[in-house]
Amino acid sequence: MAGAGPGLALGGLLDYKTAKFALTRNRRVGLLHRLLQLGVLGYLLGWVLLVRKGYQDTDRAPRAAVVTKLKGAAAVAGTSRRLWDAADYARPPQGEDVIFLVTNFIATAQQAQGTCPESAAVLDAVCTEDADCPMGNPVARGNGIKTGKCVMFNTTHSTCEIYGWCPVENSTLPRKPLLAEAENFTLFIKNTVHFTKFNFSKCNTLQTNDPTYFKTCLYDSFFSPSCPVFRVRDMVEAAGETFGDLALLGGSIGVRIEWDCDLDQPAARCQPQYSFSLQDRSYNFRTASYYWDSQRQLHRNLLKLYGIRFDISVHGQPHGFLLASLLLTLAGKFSIVPAAVSIGTGIAFFGAATVLCDLVLLYLDAKAEFYWKEKFEEAKPPKCKTEAAA
């Protein structure tokens, strides 16, 4: 018997198992099997094919180009009435995927380099004697370098004298946005997207021979979806804000252009969808213009600009149908791989439903022992006649 051990082990290793089908009249397991099959079929047709479009290939890395232009004019009243047009309130003037619209500002005119009292609003500059203003030290969050003197800023405050651009920057913010008319300005957004995987390009502007179309139209998702001219107030309101509140201290608005195109449909149906979101409630920066006076002394006019920054992002996901892919594979536009993966997954789920029902039948059913004997059977070859006679 000891010598038969390796032989039996080798014989078991070389055994071959084949499937045996046994028809069982078990309604509970049969119902479970049909319900699982219906669930798999619903998942495959409803979710994978219809909702997720698993039979289509996609290009998730499109190339996009954005050109922007702001249009409008506003007059600012004051000691001298000044007109602001696109060359004044648009930054950068050439128009890119990030553009800034000036809605408010603080002006400090005719600054020259010299000595003057630091602003009393700067905490590090408040002093009572010269010892509080060590010479050569920069003023923390201030406008210049301390000269070592404590001087009168006004009748109630003394501050350190500084060397810098004098007079120091004005910090009085207007109570209302100075460019309130900017709510009626328009932003033209021209976007061209190219899906290199499918060699497909599309522009968001209407192809028209009418030279006045873009000068008169305004974007409307229903009436004018191909007009990429947006009123600033409409964009701010679409982001959930009011123009007056956002224009005072500035802010940032995200403009998302979504290209979700089904390339099985005509190219005219591939249209972008626009959405707007508020990203920040405060935005400003400083800029200055320089000039020389008659005494050859350098001067500058300083502007602290508040406004709305528009950040434009482009996203795309084109896809194509399986049947079209069979016909147009040579053009490199479609791929059959996603469809094969989706169908293969569905077939695997059908097989898993059968395995699950087998486990229920063989291990959980009240007649599991009976079904086990019927399903598994050892097939033995018949004995030879000589062995039978012996």
| Bind-site residues for ATP | 69-71, 186, 284-286, 304
CB 57 within 8 A of CB 65: no
Under 8 Å CB-to-CB from 106, ≥6 apart: which residues? 169, 170, 171, 172, 173, 174, 303, 304
**Cis before 93 (ω within 30):** no
Three-state secondary structure call for residue 385: helix
DSSP 215: H
**Alpha carbons 202 and 290: distance in angstroms, whole number:** 44
Which parts are annotated binding residues?
Answer: 69-71, 186, 284-286, 304
With beta carbons less than 8 A apart as the criterion, state whether 171 and 106 touch. Answer: yes
Give CA–CA dist 214/235, Å, rounded: 18
Length of the chain: 390
Task: Indicate the pairing of strand 284-292 with strand 251-259.
Answer: unpaired
C-alpha to C-alpha distances, 75 to 88, 150, 289, 309, nearest whole angstrom: 12, 41, 20, 21
**Number of alpha helices (DSSP H) and beta strands (DSSP E) in the chain:** 10, 16
